[in-house]
Amino acid sequence: MKRPLVMGAVAYAPKVVTIWEGFKEYFRRHDFEFDFILYSNYERQVEAQIDGAIDIAWNSPLAWVRAERMARARGQSVRAVAMRDTDCDLTSVLVVRNNSAISELSGLNGKIVGFGAIDSPQANLIPLDHLRAQGMVAGRDFTAKRFDLLSGKHGDHIGGERDAALALMAGEIDATWMIDGNHLAFSREGILPASATRIIARTGAYDHCNFTTSPNAPEQLVTHFVELLLGMAWDNPEVRPLLELEGLKAWRAGRTSGYALLDRAVNDEQFYDAKGNILAIDYRY
């Protein structure tokens, strides 16, 4: 049997098993041996990656930041080699009820603002940093209410954002942050009824997940893996169900230019240090 490329992924929902078993069968049909190991959280996955237990990882943006920092501190390197089309150029939005008197960030003074999980790039770290850059600091200018579900999953489950949206409509908070796609999704689900909310602020653009190589990953296997990914076509009935499950229409070559906002937020909010050590004292995973 050929040596497989071993990937790490985080089990943030039951569908994760279905997704990667499907990819495993697809790769085998193309004479490429592939296997995966599931982790309960991204912190364990990144540590396993840097230690060489896996060849490549399906990493959240925050996991990418930590992996890059940990590798650099050891004189090693990691690469972002592929990502989904839906991972590129996202934003987070600050939402208020339509009848709210708040129309700009200054209106948040003395108010309660909702955030997602402590380790959510899109609903906590980037929004907090965005507000800080505008002169608004949690605990001084406004009260931050975090909806801290499933820590260690880096916000992939979106449960915290959903609970915050429900709290907004119930009048328990005055505003809340969420990724732009979830604002639309919650409207479709009826959590945020049509015309019931409006957006008063938006972060800059950032990227989401990527396939991150581990230090000393077998280059030939990684190259073949990426070639097979990029060759998956939406109009191919063999692969379309897999792409739908993983939430994309096309794989793209990886890039790292979209992580600048998160890298700054990680520093400003003191989540990791320059070596990837965890600084957030109330983070449990």
- Checking if the pLDDT of 209 tops 90, the result is yes
The more confidently predicted of residues 164 and 158 is: 164
Same domain, 103 and 83: no
* Residue reference for tokens 């600050």: 94
Residue 46 has pLDDT above 80, yes or no: yes
Query: Which pLDDT band holds residue 194 (cuts at 50, 70, 90)?
Result: confident
Assess whether 60 and 160 both reside in one domain.
Answer: no
The answer to the question of residue 22 being in a domain is yes
230 domain residue, yes or no: yes
The answer, yes or no, to whether residue 1 has pLDDT greater than 80, is: no
Q: Is the pLDDT of residue 274 over 80?
A: yes
The answer on 76 and 97 residing in a single domain is: no
Instruction: Give the C-alpha distances (Å, rounded to integers) separating 272 from 24, 72, 88.
Output: 33, 14, 23
Average pLDDT over residues 141-151: 93
The Cα 172–Cα 169 span in angstroms is 8
Residue 273 lies in a domain: no
Residue 172 — very low, low, confident or very high, per pLDDT cuts 50/70/90? very high
Specify the number of domains making up the chain.
2
Distance CA 166, CA 173 (A): 10
Residue 283 included in any domain: no
Question: Do 196 and 216 lie in a common domain?
Answer: no
Kindly state whether residues 158 and 213 are assigned to the same domain: no
The candidate with the shortest Cα–Cα distance to 121, out of 39, 186, 42, 206, is 206
pLDDT of residue 210: 98
> Does residue 260 sit within a domain?
yes
CA dist 73 → 19, 44, 51, 68, 70 (Å): 33, 18, 13, 9, 5
- Residue 19's CATH number: 3.40.190.10
Residue 273 pLDDT level (bands cut at 50, 70, 90):
very high
Q: pLDDT band for position 149 (50/70/90)?
A: confident
140 part of a folded domain: yes
The pLDDT score that the predictor gives to residue 261 is: 97
Please report whether residue 278 resides in a domain: no
pLDDT for the residue numbered 157: 78
The verdict on 245 and 260 lying in the same domain is yes
Which whole number is the average pLDDT over 33-52? 98
> What mean pLDDT comes out for the span 165-184?
96
For helices 61-73 and 260-268, give the axis angle rounded to 10 degrees.
Answer: 70
* Residue 214 DSSP one-character state: P
Tens of pLDDT, residues 223-247:
999 999 999 999 999 999 999 999 9
Range of the domain at 43: 5-87+208-268
Tell me, yes or no, whether 198 and 97 share the same domain.
Answer: yes
Q: What is the pLDDT of residue 202?
A: 98
Among 202, 219, 235, which residue terminates a domain?
202
* 48 plus 186 within the same structural domain: no
pLDDT given at position 158 = 82
**Residues 80 and 35 occupy one common structural domain:** yes
217 and 132 share one domain:
no
Q: Is residue 30 part of a domain?
A: yes
Whether the CB-CB separation of 94 and 127 falls below 8 Å is answered with yes
Domain stop point among 202, 221, 253: 202
Assess whether 212 and 74 both reside in one domain: yes
The whole-angstrom separation of Cα 60 and Cα 172 is 30
For residue range 60-118, what is the model confidence (pLDDT) as tens digits?
999 999 999 999 999 999 999 999 999 999 999 999 999 999 999 999 999 999 999 99
- Residues 225-261 as b/e (b if ≥16 CB within 10 A, e otherwise) read bbebbeebeeeeeebeebbeebebeebbebebebbeb
Average pLDDT over residues 152-179: 94
The per-residue pLDDT of the chain, averaged, comes to 96
179 & 229 share domain: no
Average of pLDDT values for 264-271? Answer: 97
What's the whole-model pTM score?
0.95
Residue % of the chain over a pLDDT of 90: 94
Predicted confidence (pLDDT) at residue 151 exceeds the cutoff of 90 = no
